[in-house]
């Protein structure tokens, strides 16, 4: 219901009702983001997470040694998978899990580990090699990741644009029209 109320442009920063959403500050923060920022904000957040993943996988292919390449790919995949699990749950594509959304959800330990992962990816990208490592395998993973982000983007559009008017009109929607 929160994402449907957000629609394409959102209700505006601070004008939504995230308090109605259960655990909006932790597990369901994406629903609150889409309510206030709309489809554009939700797609923007998905795009930023996709760029982090893509750049991490690119750094892995250009890493100086095999260990750095595998570490970089693993860190990028971990961030991406963590985001996919919680976003898939919020968007009803997957069962809802208690995994925090990287860089967004409330939780100090999650933010710390994701920040350390990002720092390691930055360090790996600084130590480049002329020879690409595991390029074909990582390209396959990258393609799968792009498909995953596309599915999530289409699902956000489904809940905000296609099903939005129907959900906004439901009598159990506590938000004012």
* DSSP letters spanning 74-88: HHHHHHHHHHHHHHH
**Cα–Cα distance between 15 and 96 in angstroms, integer?**
26
- The whole-chain average pLDDT of the chain stands at 88
Burial class (CB in 10 A: 0-12, 13-18, 19+), 142: buried
Provide the whole-model pTM.
0.86
Short-list 56, 63, 17, 58, CA closest to 36:
17
Q: What is the pLDDT of residue 170?
A: 84
Q: Tell me how far apart the alpha carbons of residues 177 and 168 are, in angstroms, rounded to a whole number.
A: 7
Cα angle for residues 99, 146, 154 (degrees, 5° grid): 75
Query: How large is the average pLDDT for residues 109-128?
Result: 91
Average pLDDT over residues 75-104: 89
The full 3-state SS of 110-161, as one line of letters, equals: HHHHHHHHHHHHHHHHHCECCCCCCHHHHHHHHHHHHHHHHHHHHHHHHHHH
Cα angle vertex 101, ends 125, 13, to 5°?
110
Confidence band, pLDDT 50/70/90 cuts, at residue 138: confident
Rounded CA gap, 64 and 24, in Å? 41
- Going along 7-140, which residue ranges are E strands? none
Distance CA 25, CA 18 (A): 8
- Tens of pLDDT, residue by residue over 99-115, are 888 888 777 888 899 99
Over residues 54-79, mean pLDDT: 92
């Amino acid at each position: 219901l929160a994402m449907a109320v957000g629609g394409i442009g959102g209700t505006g920063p601070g004008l939504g009702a995230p308090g109605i959403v259960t655990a909006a500050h932790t597990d369901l923060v994406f629903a609150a983001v889409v309510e206030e920022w709309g489809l554009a904000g939700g797609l923007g957040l998905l795009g930023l997470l996709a760029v982090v993943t893509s750049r991490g996988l690119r750094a892995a292919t250009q890493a100086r040694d095999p260990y750095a390449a595998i570490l970089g790919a693993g860190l990028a995949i971990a961030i991406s998978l963590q985001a996919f699990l919680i976003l898939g749950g919020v968007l009803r594509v997957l069962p809802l899990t208690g995994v925090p959304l990287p860089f967004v959800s409330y939780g100090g330990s999650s933010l710390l580990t994701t920040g350390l992962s990002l720092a390691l990816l930055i360090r790996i990208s600084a130590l480049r090699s002329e020879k690409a490592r595991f390029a074909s395998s990582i390209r396959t993973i990258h393609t799968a990741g792009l498909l995953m982000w596309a599915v999530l983007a289409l699902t956000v559009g489904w809940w905000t644009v296609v099903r939005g008017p129907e959900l906004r009109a439901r009598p159990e929607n506590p938000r004012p029209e």
